[in-house]
Structure 1
Amino acid sequence: MKNSIKIWLLAGTTLFMVTACDSRLDVKPTQTIEETNALLTEQDVQITLQGAYDGLSSVNLYGGAIQYSGEFLGDDREVVFGGTYATLDEIWRKTITPSNTVVRDIWLSAYNTINRANNVLAGLDKVGAANRASIEGQALFIRSSLYFELVRLFAKQWNDGTNTANPGVPLILTPTRDITTADYKPRNTVAEVYTQIIADLTKAEQGLSNSAGSGYATKNAAAAQLARVYLQQANYAGARDAANRVIQTGANALNTDFEKIFDDATSGSELIFKILVSEQDGANDLNTFYASSLNQGRGDVRVQSKHLALYTTGDVRGTFFNRASNNTFTSKHNDQFGDVPVIRVSEMYLIRAEANFRLGTSTGATPLADINAIRTRAGLPALTTAQLTLDAILKERHLELAFEGQQIHDVKRTAGRVGTVAYNANNLVMPIPQREIDTNKQLVQNPGY
């Protein structure tokens, strides 16, 4: 993150250690830590929290890999991956191997960052009352967001089989400062992981305010992530109500100009949570892979006519593309040093619309009003009541959130298909990295690997 102090942690499977030396600002990796030297002051805790944000911004997490993995796994040749990275090509082709280094680094970086958040939570007794709820809420948001991404990528979809039996991912809720064999944990069930995520986000929402800005966890960020979690579970009442809370605060609002959303100078309050990027800190791998060489990217992800044909005449989203070297590229990720959008308020309108439609309710607004708010911003005519269907809502979601990381998760929660591949196919779930299976004998591999 901007101006953040990196806390480097050393891996010993999925778990990491952290230390603070004599100078609180000079943090070095170590194999073990003396408990008496760990997080002695509120400043130590705040520095470690910045380290957790820094971990979250890694290119292996919300700096790119989480989003492009969600898009590649769910893609049915609406794009073509034309790059030379075999690891990314495996994800796009759904032929991932357990030794895939992108998959490995998502897992490692997530648990690394979760451990930083756990260190913050363990040090709350050093934090004054004025800042404690905010610091706790931010750490809980980071931890729960990563567990949500891990369980969506590395485990079966909610309600694909038995949630209380399906293996999820290991839940590590306390700091790991000196690794022994006792720290090698088995996979908790999908149900247990979701229960923890919801508990963390609920508490985070209660403790946070909306004053921190979209580069940091806020009350709206926690509620918005809860809306995503509930939607993934088909808990439509929970998703509707969480999305409605976000919208009703007024802290985040639709930008009237779609194209301005993806420019840091003009995005306004559309972005609920984002990864801050500058020339000095942060990284944007969505730019690296999605942008053309004219926009500092590699030009690896090439948009195909199959996707472009989904837009109707007048839809400004259908013209938000650029051409280079006879290929088409999305313009969402053109800025090399642009902040990375993670959650936008438009998604909350889409969640509220879908949930209200499925439930036959109108909490906050009618489904028609919410969908037409998105369509009007896109330059499209309003739908009528007769035209509003679930398919129409899901299509608006697909077009509005294209190339932002939600594709495979929408396929899975709606029991759809990726081409001829069913939503619950083994190859739409990432393998547990081979290095983790080799090191931690309590881990079981996903079927098909």
Structure 2
Amino acid sequence: MLLCLTGCKKQDEFLDAKSQEGDIVLTTLSDFQAVLDYTPTMNTNYITLGQTGADNFYFPDVNYTSLQPYERNSVLWLKEIFPAGTNDIAYTSPYLVIRNSNIVLEGLEKITRTADNMARYDSVEGHARFARAFMFFELVNTFGKQYNEATAASDPGIPLRTFSDINILAGRAPVKNVYDFVINELKLVADRMPLNIQYMRPTKLSAYALLARVYLQKGDYVNAGRCCDSVLQYKTQLLNFNDSSLVSLSNTYRFPTYKSHPEILFYAEGLLTLVGAPSTSYAYCFADTVLYKSYAADDLRKTYFYNLLGANQAKFQGSYTGNSRIFAGLALNEVYFIRAECRARLHNIAGCLSDVNTLLKNRYRTGTYVGYETTDEEAALRFVLDERRKELPNTGQLRWEDLKRLNTEPKFAKVLTRIYNGVTYTLQPQSPRYVFPFAPKIIEQEGLQQNER
């Protein structure tokens, strides 16, 4: 049943799949929960396409030939990314999650919510709405422009598919509509979901954490901060990098699995690519040298996030998945940094520094960290942003999303540069190439307006 609901064995065949729910009878809350608990679809292959265009890594010239064509094109910010006839798994995989969520939500309409089944009903419904909202948010930040209040109502976003029938086409909803939909959905989820952490399933805390990420990307620092408060009033335990029972070089991927990791709020794995993958088999991509050198000698993130294979060749090794996949879920370290940034932007310097210093005490060798102090608001904000980059170098596509939002502020805007075969490639702040194009096959099958590059 679950394999049928995922559409096809290959993720990139979503658009060719035939609607099969008519051949499957789903009637109970347990049936619908089983759909959502199919982790190979619902908790894997989250979007990491933006990571290929970010500035946290570099490729030696000789390694570019190892990349898939779309990866190489994206790494160099070329106009065309996807070769003709190919689909984009960063687009099709999220829409499989969305379709499964829609199947569940349509099925729940046929079940009466009662006093006896209320908690279970709300948990299933919230799970479906959360998964769908998560995918819509990541999709709009990949294939849509950075949120701008002045233009968001007219900037084309992504298809806002709220129905399961894949034979019905949906045009591109404006960026504002997508954000409004995601925010309203997550508010509903946060209101109804339980508190207890379930890792593979969303809860009240993961809903607030994702809502904080959405508000931050939108530039709504008041609401982003409040959502962080809603998480941190219930859970504050950070992973101490000095705890050798959990963090160890003897572990190939350095960190414990999700069940033993105190910071994880919602577990998801990113799409596996050669760019930044922690797999020991993929020694093609290395940490940006400036980024790597920015870690202090006693900063254990330098030890556990990276494996120094040679001169200027620091391979990302430490993923919060504890395996060869990139962590693309939600964790407390991100929540701390969101709240710290919001506090800095809202003139609460003491609160901002308290959040970052609290986290960094758990990252440095015991007794070596000296808390950062300043009374200058811009210095505090720069401190937060620098440490955020060092803390979350390979979480989903956060760095790409950070570049998009920070490029709207001249003092934080950054020109990205790569050199390949003696040719210099650049990506200017707010360039249209910060918006990925749709693959030609998707344009052909869905009739979408292509993004300008």
Contact 1:114–1:146 under 8 Å retained in 2: yes
SS in 1 for 2:176: helix
Of 34, 48, 51, the residue aligned with 2:22 is 34
Is 1:99 matched up with 2:82?
Answer: yes
Of 387, 392, 397, the residue aligned with 1:396 is 387
Contact 2:353–2:380 under 8 Å retained in 1: no
| Length-normalised TM-score, structure 1 | 0.82
SS in 1 for 2:88: helix
Amino acid at match of 2:172: R
Contact 1:153–1:429 under 8 Å retained in 2: yes
User: Deviation per CA, 1:384-424, whole angstroms, max 9, x where unpaired?
Assistant: 13375211110010101112221111111111224253332
Partner Cα separation in structure 1 for residue 301 and residue 295 of structure 2: 8
Contact 1:291–1:329 under 8 Å retained in 2: no
RMSD: 3.0
Structure 1 pair 392/33, CA: closer, same or farther in 2 (3 Å)? closer
Contact 2:352–2:380 under 8 Å retained in 1: no
Aligned counterpart, 1:25: none
Is 1:263 matched up with 2:256?
Answer: yes
Worse-superposed segment, 126-135 or 397-406: 126-135
Is 1:329 matched up with 2:326?
Answer: no
Contact 2:29–2:124 under 8 Å retained in 1: no
Name the count of aligned residue pairs.
Answer: 408
Amino acid at match of 1:105: I
Unaligned 5+ runs, structure 1: 18-29, 277-282
Structure 1 pair 263/176, CA: closer, same or farther in 2 (3 Å)? same
Partner Cα separation in structure 1 for residue 432 and residue 100 of structure 2: 32
Aligned counterpart, 1:115: 99
Partner Cα separation in structure 1 for residue 124 and residue 131 of structure 2: 11
Aligned counterpart, 2:414: 417
Structure 1 pair 16/161, CA: closer, same or farther in 2 (3 Å)? farther
1:289 Cα deviation from its structure 2 partner: 5.3
Contact 1:411–1:418 under 8 Å retained in 2: no
Partner Cα separation in structure 1 for residue 81 and residue 307 of structure 2: 35
Partner Cα separation in structure 2 for residue 304 and residue 189 of structure 1: 35
Partner Cα separation in structure 1 for residue 74 and residue 316 of structure 2: 19
Identity of aligned residues (%): 25
Contact 1:16–1:115 under 8 Å retained in 2: no
User: Deviation per CA, 1:249-287, whole angstroms, max 9, x where unpaired?
Assistant: 12x5211227838222785321111137xxxxxx8726x
Amino acid at match of 2:22: E
Aligned counterpart, 2:213: 228
1:301 Cα deviation from its structure 2 partner: 1.8
Structure 1 pair 439/331, CA: closer, same or farther in 2 (3 Å)? closer
Of 43, 52, 55, the residue aligned with 2:41 is 55
Partner Cα separation in structure 1 for residue 209 and residue 294 of structure 2: 27
SS in 2 for 1:389: helix
SS in 2 for 1:340: coil
Is 1:185 matched up with 2:197?
Answer: no
Aligned counterpart, 1:406: 398
SS in 2 for 1:246: helix
Amino acid at match of 1:313: A
Aligned counterpart, 2:452: 447
Is 1:254 matched up with 2:238?
Answer: yes
SS in 1 for 2:216: helix
User: Deviation per CA, 1:303-332, whole angstroms, max 9, x where unpaired?
Assistant: 242221222332222233213476321221
Partner Cα separation in structure 1 for residue 393 and residue 58 of structure 2: 10
1:201 Cα deviation from its structure 2 partner: 0.8
1:76 Cα deviation from its structure 2 partner: 6.4
Amino acid at match of 2:53: L
Structure 1 pair 225/103, CA: closer, same or farther in 2 (3 Å)? farther
